[in-house]
Amino acid sequence: MSPDRKLLEILTRHGVPFVVVGGHAVNFHGSLRATEDTDVLWIRSPDAEAKLMAALCEVDARFIGDEIDPATGVERTHPVTESFVRAERLMMLCTAAGFLDLFDYVPGFPEEQVATVWKTAVDLDGVRFASLEWLRRMKQAAGRPKDLIDLENLADLA
């Protein structure tokens, strides 16, 4: 199982309510491209926080801190804690199964609830992917060069 699929399987098994966005959603909709991480929106609640924490413990999730390890010259990583999960709206994590970015908001649309994206998401074997409409909207709002390329490639898809 590829690392990204492993992350999605673990989040699903733990019952975390999430929707895949980013490069993996682009691939799901038929425009293949490489991606370095797995991006997901998750619906925050106390129950979801507990489920997410269990999933993150399983994959030894860590976040990169601000301090540099003097022995290696590399930024130090720290284990994800319950207080970290409760406090952070965007978690950019390294895990034993690859890089994972978790958003508790819709990037580019802070007024929208994640549940709005969830309701229109497409299910594949228990994993929800952002609808083509929402994916295009998020890519347009981000406006980075890679997002604009994704938009061009997604334009011809139904």
Strand 127-129 with 122-124, pairing? antiparallel
Q: What is the pTM of this model?
A: 0.91
- What confidence score (pLDDT) does residue 1 get? 55
Strand partners, 41: 19, 103
- Alpha-carbon gap, residue 57 to 150, rounded angstroms: 33
Q: How many domains does the chain have?
A: 1
Domain region containing 56: 3-154
Predicted confidence (pLDDT) per residue in 98-143, tens digit: 999 999 999 999 899 999 999 999 999 999 999 999 999 999 999 9
- What confidence score (pLDDT) does residue 2 get? 66
CA distances from 139 to 29, 32, 114, 127, 133 (A): 13, 15, 16, 20, 10
CATH code where residue 107 lies: 3.30.460
Length of the chain: 158
Predicted confidence (pLDDT) per residue in 85-98, tens digit: 999 999 999 999 99
Question: Around 124, how many Cα atoms within 13 Å sit in the side-chain half-sphere?
Answer: 13
Predicted confidence (pLDDT) per residue in 24-77, tens digit: 999 999 888 888 899 999 999 999 999 999 999 999 999 987 778 788 877 888
Burial 129-142 (b: 16+ CB within 10 A, else e): bbbbebbbbbbeee
